[in-house]
Amino acid sequence: MTFYDDATGERVELSVATFANWVAKTANLLQGDLGAGPGDRVALLLPAHWQTAVWLLACSSVGAVADVAGEAGAADLVVSGPDTLDAARACGGERVALALRPLGGRFPQPPAGFADYAVEVPSQGDRFVPFAPVDPEGPALIVAGREFSGAEVVERARAEAPALGLTGPGSRILSGLPYDTWEGLNAGLYAALATGGSVVLCRHLEALGEEALARRIESERVSATAR
């Protein structure tokens, strides 16, 4: 995955190994320190961002249900960006805050009542083994009011990938869609995973002019777009 934030000029490139390492560390944090297990609901109050993608796959690794933009008060624990901390405080369980700063930087001052993800995750193990097997038929994702099992996520991602222009390894999609719909999640993560492709995920893409976008598509060797 390659991530751009066109409001800040940030660019982060994550290899398969680096991304997998972030997922393993986050899954260990989620399962070990935060006590999450299969069926627990994790409200993800996060934008389309590379760290959001990490949390989505960490939830899947543990067997927890990733509730995208879900109600914090109904969740077992909440993961929040810097702009949704007030809403996240409605969660009575564990609360984690992400500063969403370049290179995964920490908060200058940690928000009260939250664990700072950038402080907690580096010390976690690089390999992850779930305490309990993950049932592919169990609930895995809630987005825009729709619940999916893990098997449904994989099946639908594979089925819809060709329409997005993802035909297999080497395919590369640029997505400027938000993560609060299935379409945005699929274009910005799942379809590429299901087909062995890769993603150029762009936040605040509207800030980029058409000429600059065309240059990015060329320089990133993009084969499909969703925006």
C-alpha–C-alpha distance, residues 166 and 20, integer Å: 21
Please tell me the predicted confidence (pLDDT) of residue 14.
Answer: 97
Residue 164 near residue 200, CB atoms below 8 Å: no
Query: What digits encode the pLDDT tens for the residues 18-67?
Result: 999 999 999 999 999 999 999 999 999 999 999 999 999 999 999 999 99
Please tell me the predicted confidence (pLDDT) of residue 103.
Answer: 84
pLDDT, mean of residues 6-19: 96
DSSP per-residue string spanning 153-206: HHHHHHHHHHHHT--STT-EEEE---SSSHHHHIIIIIHHHHHT-EEEEEESGG
Q: What is the reported pTM?
A: 0.97
- CATH number reported for the structural domain that contains residue 66 in this entry: 3.40.50.12780
Percentage of the chain surpassing pLDDT 90?
A: 98
Query: What digits encode the pLDDT tens for the residues 77-90?
Result: 999 999 999 999 99
Residue 65 near residue 43, CB atoms below 8 Å: no
Range of the domain at 103: 2-226
Query: What digits encode the pLDDT tens for the residues 149-191?
Result: 999 999 999 999 999 999 999 999 999 999 999 999 999 999 9
For residue 211, CA distances in Å to 12, 163, 176, 184, 214 come to 21, 25, 16, 23, 5
